[in-house]
Amino acid sequence: MVFLTCVLLGFFIAAGGSITPSFLNLTVVKFSLRNGKKPAFYLIGGYATILFFQANIGAYLSNILMKNSEYITLIQKIGTGILFLLSFNFFRLHFTSKAPKEKQDIPKSKAYFHGILMSSLNTIAIPFYFTTISFLIGLDYFEYSLLNSFYFSVGSTLGSFTLYSLYAIVAEKIEHKLQYVATKMDFILGCLTGVVAIGNLIYLLNK
What's the CA angle centered on 128, arms 58 and 168, to 5 degrees? 110
CA–CA distance, 124 with 54 (Å, rounded to integer): 10
- pLDDT, one tens digit per residue, over 34-73 is 887 888 899 999 999 999 998 998 888 877 765 565 666 6
- pLDDT, one tens digit per residue, over 79-92 is 677 778 777 877 77
Closest by alpha carbon to 46, among 93, 104, 116?
A: 116
Contacts of 159 (CB under 8 A, 6+ apart): 10, 11, 12, 13, 14, 15, 18
CA–CA distance, 118 with 185 (Å, rounded to integer): 15
Low-confidence ranges of the chain (pLDDT < 50): 100
| DSSP helix/strand/coil, 138 | helix
pLDDT the model gives residue 169: 85
